[in-house]
Amino acid sequence: MNNTNKYQLTQFIKQQAQELGFAWCGIASAKFLEQEAVRLETFLNKEFQGDMKYLENHFEKRVDPAKLVEGAKSVISFAFNYFQEIDFENGQPKISRYALGEDYHVVLKDKLFQIVNGLEQKIGKFSVRCFVDSAPVLERKWATEAGFGWVGKNTMTINKQMGSYFFLCEIICDLELEYDAPFVKDYCGTCNKCVEACPTQAIHGDNTMDGSKCISYFTIELKKEIPAEFQKQWSDWIFGCDICQEVCPWNKFAKANNEEYFKPLMNWNEMKKNDWLDITNKIFDSQLKKSPMHRAGLKKIQQNIQAIKLK
Active site residues: 133
Decide if 81 contacts 100 (C-beta within 8 A): no
Reduce the DSSP state of residue 242 to 3 states and report it.
coil
Distance between CA atoms of 99 and 239, rounded to whole angstroms? Answer: 8
**138 HSE (CA, 13 A, CB side):** 27
Looking at residue 164, what DSSP letter applies?
A: S
Interatomic CA distance for residues 176 and 282, integer angstroms: 49
User: 28 near 144, Cβ under 8 Å?
Assistant: no
Residue 100 main-chain phi, psi, to 5 deg: -70, -35
